[in-house]
Structures are given as structure tokens and as C-alpha cells.
């Protein structure tokens, strides 16, 4: 009697696909591929010393015990890392409002849509409070968001700017050091030259972001 009547819905590669791919790259097995790609001196010589597996309940109890060991202290780190007070109305109506996720089917992508809608509402409030025509609520940390802004400005150069080789990014000296470090790291592979100074003393040509380039500057953060 045939019992396997269900269609295979797995979208990954099967054994035949694996063998074909291995032959294509000139190896006979996955072990041989690992041997050729990962240096032997950084590979473990013995299996990881792992404890026996836990059930979901046991794991939840375990991490709760670990969390209870945390202690809260007054932080003096500064540099953008400050304690904040979240108003109860924001806590409930934005961060804990179930409408942001119960309105969607229980898949990660759809749940994220609720979060994005909450962020959109936040951006709208910021625009209203600041009277600015545009506000952005990045999903990234501040440093990465600044680096992404630099990348965006580089990509938005006009054709004339690209021909002129405008690749200098001016950053104010008062920026947090961790933000500047990420900007500099992300700028290296993109060929962006980062210059730091006092924005009050910076003299930009009126068309520096449009046509001519007496000053090769692509963006000012």
C-alpha cells in the first residue's frame, strides 16, 4: 500500500542537486568542500561541549533565571546613550498596542507591517512638531543611519557631480565618536573621503550639490 501521497513542498536542493553542484565546482563531497575553503587551523578539533537539549519550558525558565541576575545601575556613558522616560500613553498606544500585529496574519513579514505603520505615525508626529516637510524614523541605530545617509547622498549625485569626482563628505566635529567611526568604516569601500570640521566655518559653493564643483562635497551631515 502506498502511503507517501503528499507532494514534496521543500524548496531546498535535493541530493541530485547537491551532487551536480559539487561536480560543477570540482569537489566530490561537502566535507571536501569544507576542507578546501575553511583553513584547518581555525576549525574545531573536537565537538562543542554542549549540554543536553532543553524543552521549551526548561529553556524559558533557564533564561529567566539568567535575566534575574541583571542589575540596573546609573549610567554615565553619555554620548547619545541616555536614560529616557516613555509616557504611558506612548507605551500603551504605540509600543504595546496589539492592533499593530493582530490586524495581520501571524507571519513575520505581515507583523512588521504593523510596526512600520507605527513608525509612519511617529514620523508624522515629528513632522507636525518640527514643522519640517520631511521626517525619517530609521529602523537602524543612529550610527548606521548616518552611514546610510552618506551612502544615499553619494548615490544621489548628479551626472555633473559624478564627472567632477565629488566624493568628499563633510561631518561636523561635534558628532558622536561612535557615529563617526561607522561613517568612516562604511566610507572606505565606497571611495568616500570623510572630512571633519566645524560646520559654522564651512563655506560651501551654492551649487556644490548641483552643477559646478569648486568644493568637492557630496553631502553635509
Report the C-alpha gap between 122 and 91 in whole angstroms: 13
Lowest-confidence pick of 54-68, 102-116, 125-139: 102-116
- What is the band of 218 on the pLDDT scale with cuts at 50, 70, 90? very low
- Terminal Cα distance for the chain, rounded: 71
- What is the band of 3 on the pLDDT scale with cuts at 50, 70, 90? low
Nearest to 138 by CA among 129, 127, 146: 146
Lowest-confidence pick of 12-16, 81-85, 192-196, 211-215: 211-215
Average of pLDDT values for 96-120?
70
- What is the band of 9 on the pLDDT scale with cuts at 50, 70, 90? low
pLDDT at 221: 43
CA torsion sign for 160, 163, 164, 169 is positive
pLDDT at 216: 37
Amino acid at each position: 500500500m502506498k502511503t507517501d501521497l503528499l507532494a514534496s513542498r521543500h524548496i531546498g536542493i535535493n541530493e541530485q542537486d547537491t551532487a551536480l553542484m559539487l561536480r560543477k565546482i570540482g569537489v566530490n563531497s561537502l566535507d571536501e568542500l569544507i576542507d578546501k575553503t575553511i583553513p584547518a587551523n581555525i576549525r574545531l578539533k573536537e565537538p562543542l561541549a554542549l549540554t543536553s537539549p532543553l524543552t521549551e519550558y526548561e529553556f524559558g525558565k533557564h533564561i529567566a533565571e539568567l535575566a534575574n541576575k541583571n542589575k540596573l545601575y546609573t549610567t554615565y556613558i553619555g554620548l547619545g546613550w541616555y536614560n529616557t522616560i516613555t509616557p504611558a500613553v506612548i507605551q500603551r498606544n504605540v509600543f504595546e498596542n496589539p492592533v499593530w500585529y493582530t490586524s495581520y496574519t501571524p507571519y513575520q513579514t505581515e507583523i512588521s507591517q504593523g510596526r512600520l505603520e507605527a513608525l509612519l505615525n511617529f514620523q508624522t508626529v515629528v513632522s507636525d512638531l518640527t514643522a519640517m516637510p520631511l521626517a525619517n524614523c530609521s529602523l537602524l541605530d543612529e550610527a548606521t543611519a548616518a552611514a546610510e545617509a552618506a551612502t544615499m547622498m553619494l548615490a544621489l549625485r548628479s551626472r555633473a557631480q559624478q564627472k567632477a569626482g565629488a566624493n568628499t563628505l563633510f561631518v561636523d566635529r561635534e558628532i558622536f565618536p561612535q557615529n563617526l567611526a561607522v561613517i568612516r568604516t562604511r566610507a572606505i569601500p565606497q571611495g568616500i573621503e570623510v572630512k571633519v570640521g566645524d560646520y559654522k566655518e564651512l563655506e560651501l559653493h551654492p551649487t556644490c550639490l548641483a552643477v559646478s564643483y569648486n568644493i568637492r562635497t557630496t553631502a553635509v551631515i
